[in-house]
Amino acid sequence: MEAIVVEELRKRYGDVQALDGVSFAVQEGEVFGLLGPNGAGKSTTVRSLVTLTMPDSGSASVAGHDVLREQNAVRRVIGYVPQDSGVDELGTGRENLMLQGRVQGMRGKDLRARTETLLELVGITEAADRIVKTYSGGMRRRLDIALGLVHRPRVLFLDEPTTGLDPEARVVMWEEVSRLAQAESLTILLTTHYLEEADQLADRLAIVSQGRVVVEGTPAALKAGLRGDAVHVEVENAAVAEAQRVLAAVGAAPEQVLDGRTIVSRVENGGRALPGIISALETAGIPVASVSLSRPSLDDVYLHFTGREFASEDRAA
């Protein structure tokens, strides 16, 4: 069964085409990632699916409900955790959850029991009666997620769930998300611009760039689709054309040129090929500034399908 279906969503803000025909589907019980640099259109996609933004065209459904025609029905079956925290810093963790439950129409024993369950589930029971402004960033984020789960949604949307967290807190949050998906039998759609996060959490993912889905699949399958290892060779600008010719002649045909001087090639066995590549460039009198070798990664997948380097595009956005 498909929990989320998105077909040809488009959205423009002035001169910016935020969404340019986004399409994908998420199966029930799946953790699905939208991976892309900042400004790729991930958050606009999520805001459209949770009925906070109206797309200009296209269609989408969540848990069988049309996001354009059945907005109230969609809101009843989803949880939404935006990038910016929605907690009341002057209330306690328990008070935040009780208030959210009342907003959702929950009362009495059911709400109290659900609050206790979620406090334990996200690991903040001991801090439940502390004022939220005393919480660490990771604790606040866990409370944010608990708020999105109070009413037992069928689909949970996590928009950049670990942005702003330090690396250690980010790893802890990954473990929490994986555990929640199983404990609550949830379908989760998360957006992220962290390559490692998408690789770690997503059962399947769609890579988004400039308002479009460029490729979709499991992280393992996407990386396996890139044959061999990536070799990055940095040379002087004036030597790029000649270096490309030399690389092609030794079986390392260039795929991309980054920043006008770094040539990216893919070879079957990088460890064996690297000495021959360096020797051929030296024989041709081409000065090499640096050489690096890497196994296929989601960064390589992004570069392969867009022709652009993920980190550079993220910084630019």
Domain with CATH 3.40.50.300 in the chain: 2-222
How far CA 187 is from CA of 2, 114, 150, in Å, comes to: 10, 19, 15
**pLDDT reported for residue 238:** 76
* Mean pLDDT on 30-37: 95
Percent of the chain topping pLDDT 90? 70
Instruction: Express each pLDDT in 224-256 by its tens digit.
Output: 888 888 899 999 877 899 999 999 999 888 888
Whether domain 2-222 has CATH 3.30.70.1350: the reply is: no
Best CA proximity match to 141, nearest among 182, 172, 111, 186: 172
Residue 171 has pLDDT above 90, yes or no: no
Residue 218 has pLDDT above 90, yes or no: yes
Distance, CA of 288 to CA of 99 (rounded, Å): 62
Instruction: Express each pLDDT in 108-146 by its tens digit.
Output: 999 999 999 999 988 899 999 999 999 998 899 999 999
Instruction: Express each pLDDT in 46-85 by its tens digit.
Output: 999 999 999 999 999 999 999 999 999 999 999 999 988 8
Distance, CA of 71 to CA of 12 (rounded, Å): 21
Domain with CATH 3.30.70.980 in the chain: 227-295
Token output for 56: 């200009």
Phi, psi of 119 (to 5 degrees): -60, -40
| Helix (H) / strand (E) containing 94 | helix 93-103
* Mean pLDDT on 82-98: 93
Expressed in percent and rounded to 5, the helix, strand and coil fractions of the chain are 40, 30, 30
Distance, CA of 25 to CA of 4 (rounded, Å): 6
Q: Is 233 left (phi over 0), alpha (psi -120 to 50) or beta?
A: beta
Best CA proximity match to 46, nearest among 73, 70, 82: 82
How many distinct helices (H) and strands (E) make up the chain?
Answer: 12, 14
Instruction: Express each pLDDT in 261-281 by its tens digit.
Output: 899 998 888 888 999 999 999
Quick one: fold of 227-295?
A: Alpha-Beta Plaits (3.30.70)
Question: Are 148 and 104 in contact, with CB atoms under 8 Å apart?
Answer: no
Distance, CA of 132 to CA of 96 (rounded, Å): 9
Best CA proximity match to 7, nearest among 53, 47, 34, 45: 45
